[in-house]
Structure 1
Amino acid sequence: MHHSQDLQQVLALREAMMTGDEQRLKEQRAAGKWTARERIAKLVDEGSFVELFALAGEQDMGAGVITGYATVQERPVYLFAQDFTIRGGAMGKLQAQKITKVLDMAHKTGAPIVALCDSAGVKLDEGAQAMNAYSEIYQRMARLSGVCPMIALVLGPCIGGAALLASLADVSIMAKKVGQLMVFGPQVLAAMNGVDVKPEALGGAEAIASQGGCTLVAEDEAHAMALAVRVLSMLPSSNLEDAEIIDSDDMNRLLPALDPADVDSLWAALADNGQVLEFFATYETSIRVALTRMGGRTVGLVATAKGQTDGKLTSGALTKAAQFVRLMDCYNIPVVSLMNTRGVYVADPSAQISLIKAQSQLLYAYAEATVPKLCVVTGDAIGQAYVAMGGKANADVTYAWPSATISALTPEAAVAVLYKEQIAGNATIPVEEARRQYADEYVRDVAGALNAAKAGLVDDVIDPDRTRALLISALEMLASKRDSNPAKKHGNIPL
């Protein structure tokens, strides 16, 4: 009887801490948002969630965040979910302690972390303690980076310190209409400088995605959960494992006739069942990056694209690609680069340091990565863009399509330097026609794919139809690759 009474007290306390504020619950429903517990139930395998530290703190001081572990597609994950219906999901000392405990457990056991973010900020009545609480979480996340995948779902306001939770994650997913990511909310900005900005325009999913502030944008919360499950399925549980191999498509399937500039069609043709998950899809599109599977293996795709700069790479795109390559290297995922670029884009000739740094970052990321690295030159590979994208020096295998051009300058620019006098001195042929003829000659004799193969700059000139089959074969061959960087604390990437 005594045990029964004690159990009833525990259950009553647990029930009280699970019940959100009635008014906030109504607001949550009105905003079209799920509760924290509903989100967990939608994300994990049915009945698998085990809550940890539910009774932490006096009364309900530890409420506002739910922590625990579960399985997603039968793989273990740790998670924490901020509960906006309890004090707006505000972060305090006890909430941080609960989160740091599950982060520590993920570190020890080698399992991914999923964060369901929905918080109005910190507990102001705790003062500096609340700020230190966030610092404890940041420190754990920084040390966990590259050890276990961290995925953050922004499903409500993430303002101030909460915004860094999403930024420190490996993958961040924002739901349209409900997700908000910002340092200062509209009210604070209005008080600071009198500017009145709508929350969606300031920190909504599409606004943040256009600035590279989130990895993926979801149409709603259900879509966000589906994206999280899909990302988890393509990543290993930790850096000590490889992603699961799932055979589902013909490895020797031939490619249809493709335009090298059509990245979407090229990706779909290379990927198993045409399925590709693009990261940062609306940000700096002169380079595009994505997760996919080829021959059942998870692969990171990096492809140059026309974007808004006619195939020239911007500094932002170079940095985006560098971040992606480093993420792939963290979790033992091979990188396949598809190169078709006319060089780098100089927006302001008097301010080129950002472009120099961005090129250095991508070059560094490729050079430092020890995972299998494959490259296919599908079109142009011109100048510093070729070097920054890895080039032959930083790829295990490099292929070129027959129509590829590999050169320090575009053929047009090269002949303007090399054949300036011949073009000017030929009175029998119009200048433009002479330039075209010399450019064709330059490609044939110097910059063409065959010449690159003869010089050892590519390993082979291949039939485009067989690109998928050859890449999968190379991935199989490199699956046992063992490479390591020199012993050091860490490198000094040019940030």
Structure 2
Amino acid sequence: MSNLAGPVTGTARARVAEGTVLRSRLDTNAGQYRANRVAQLAILAELEGELDKARDGGGLRYRERHRGRGRLLVRERIELLVDRDSPLLELSPLAAWGSEFAVGASVVTGIGVVAGVEAVIIAHDPTVRGGAMNPFSLRKTLRALDIAKRNRLPVVNLVESGGADLPNQSDLFVQAGKIFHDLTELSSLGIPTIALVFGNSTAGGAYVPGMCDYAVLVDQHAKVFLGGPPLVKMATGEESDDEDLGGAAMHARVSGLADYFATDERDAIRIGRRILSELNWRKLGPGPTLAADPPRYDPDELLGIAPADFRTPFDPREVLARVVDGSRFGEYKPDYGRSLVTGWASVHGFPVGVLANANGILFSEESKKGAEFIQLANQTDTPLIFLQNTTGFMVGAAYEQGGIIKDGAKLINAVTNSSVPHVTINMAASFGAGNYGMSGRAYDPRFMFAWVNAKLAVMGAAQLAGVLSIVGKAAAAASGRPFDQDEDDARRDTIERQIAAESHSFFISGKLYDDGVLDPRDTRTVLGIALSAAHSAPIEGRRGYGVFRM
């Protein structure tokens, strides 16, 4: 069912500003709306509690000890670095959630504007085990560097780390070398990298300022060396101190590692901002080209649209009416493949194509419609937004005989080979191969986020437990042994609880399968930042595709 008020006037991409305005039919007094809103607010309160843990770093004791040494906290450094009143899109703030490591994984990453330049920021939190790197902070750092590379964003490293968390070295050593690889690759691509060294940068970590294009070291605080005094003493018998081995003055005047000598932390941040301002940096993608007027409907109402139970269907046009510019949406093929909504819009002035699941199931018609729409977006170099709410591709004899596999393959082929930026948001559910067809993490969207109540798994918890039960009954019958119903019920309950926990948005984001969990009301802002970042690089669509199975 379409909520459009009338036909689109003009070609979809070029004249989306003239397109039909979505007309909301949302009843904010309905019981379902109120129940959804209550559930969303409750889990948002839980999210805020987890984010507080990340912001808390190593806790009050370690924060006070850090300040007692005359140091700024990591988020204070970031606040001074970015332009005043500019937004910061923090990435992976729930990294390591549910693990033995601190929420946030001892590093803060994000996209912010520094001296007018959009940049990726990677900042160690020295209040968490001295900023030591654990397996999750490694993955978080590598993801930030990947975002910088694919979106052509300069990188600012705020360095203060004791290096690898040695008890976990077996999960770190091999892959940690990719940090150095990625820093040097960024430089080779002409993407600037800057290191502001506030404290320890030892052992392998010493190569971070060594491999960045610019290095700023803070006097009496920066310690950059491959081996500290105890290791040097053990290896060579030489007596030395921190300043002789790796102090800022030595590196500025003797080794030449430091390009700039900072008298204190604020001076280092000032110098870092100056470096960004002197890059003569230019975005290579087109700027916003359409009217960026706000939606006609209140984004606060998204809390009542997002379902408390992912099995409850909702119309994604109601979401678009509260996210896209002016609530304008030029729908493509509205009467064909109706459980996948496709069409043209803009977000903060950036033209986009949208693919949004309606009732959750992808049939052959939806698969072919989606594949064709992705090709059209690539023909016009238009970025794509995927709004996921899918339980996967349809199953059953009629659908198998009708070609659901080869039609699903068309959609996955189109997603795989599409070269325009993809930004994916899981609004409610992302199960099975539907996750792949809607540009899930394995398909390298530029950015991927999830609404706070979203689920991600191979299938729903109850369905997965039920499938295993059916398999168990069939195995018992085939072997001629009795089937223990009580044991099966207990097993089903255990599995269902396990999958429900593992599909939770906090769990998924903790493993860095997305770039963060969102309050639905922030969707438009996050999309705007992501699209602006993507336009730092050229926006070029794919003109040729692989073989489509007809």
So what's the TM-score if we normalise by structure 2? Answer: 0.42
Higher relative CO (CA 8 A, sep ≥ 6), structure 1 or 2? 2
